[in-house]
Amino acid sequence: MSASTEVKAPVIVLVRPQLGENIGKAARAMLNFGLTELRLVSPRDGWPNPSAGPAAAGADEVLEQAEVFETLAEAVSDCANVYATTVRKRGVTKPVVTPEEAAREVHAAPGRSAYVFGPERSGLETEDVALARAILTVPINPAFASLNLAQAVILCAYEWSKGAALVQPTVEDLLPPAPQEELEGLIGHFEALLAPTKYFFPESRAAATRLTLRNMLTKPGWNSLEVRTMRGVLSALGRPARPE
C-alpha cells in the first residue's frame, strides 16, 4: 500500500468493547482489508486482553499497535471526519451515509477519518453519536437489524478497500481459449465416434442434432488443455475394451 493510501486509511475506534474475542475478530476484519490502526475506548476488561489474540487469527500487528483512550473525544481528537456507526439516529440530526458513501468521502476528504463502533450489546450512546460528523448506517433487514461487531467492521473496511487498490489474492492464471481449429477437431472426433452408433438417426434430424452438439461444445470456451483432455477421453472410449 502506498504512503498516499495509508494517509487516507480510516482509524477504527471501538467504544467500550466488552469481549476480547470481539476485539480480536474486529482486528482480523480490519487487516483483511488493509486497515491497521485500532483505537479502544475504555474496554470493559482492560487491555491487553488474552482472549483477543486467538480470535484475531494472525492479525497480531493490529492488536500490538492498538491504543487505549479514556474517552471517545480523546480517541478521535486528530480526526476531521468521524462516522458513528448505528442503525438508529438516536435523536441526533446529522447526515446519514452508507458504508459505500462513507468510503468515497474518506478517500476524497482531507484530514484523518475514523469509523466509530459501539459496545456489542447496546451500541453507541447519544453522546457518542453527537461527536460524529455523520451517521453511518448499513442498509439492512429491518426485521432483523442486528450485526455483530466484526461484521460491522468488515462491511466498512471492505467498502473502503475498494478504493485503496489492494492487491487481488493470487489466483491460478486462466489458459486462453482454444483456437477454432482445435474445437473443430474435437467436434469432428465426437461425430466420428457417434456416427456408427446411429446417434444422428433419423437423417431428417441429423443436421439439427449436429448443430446442437456444436453449440454445446463451443459454449464453454474450452482451452487447449481441456480440448486435448476431452479428445483423450474420446479416444479411450473408442478403443475396444481390454480383456480382464
> Could you state, in order of their start, the residue ranges of all structural domains in the chain?
3-161, 180-238
CA 163/CA 49 separation, integer angstroms: 32
Q: What would the grid cell of residue 101 be?
A: 458513501
CA 8/CA 119 separation, integer angstroms: 25
* Claim: this prediction has a pTM higher than 0.85: no
Q: How many CB atoms lie within 10 A of CB 58?
A: 11
| Region 3-161: CATH code | 3.40.1280.10
pLDDT in tens, the chain (244 residues): 443 344 479 999 999 999 999 999 999 999 999 999 999 999 999 999 999 999 999 999 999 999 999 999 999 999 999 999 987 655 668 899 999 999 999 999 889 999 999 998 888 998 999 999 999 998 888 788 778 999 999 999 999 999 886 655 555 567 788 889 999 999 999 999 998 888 888 889 999 999 998 888 888 778 888 899 989 999 988 887 666 6
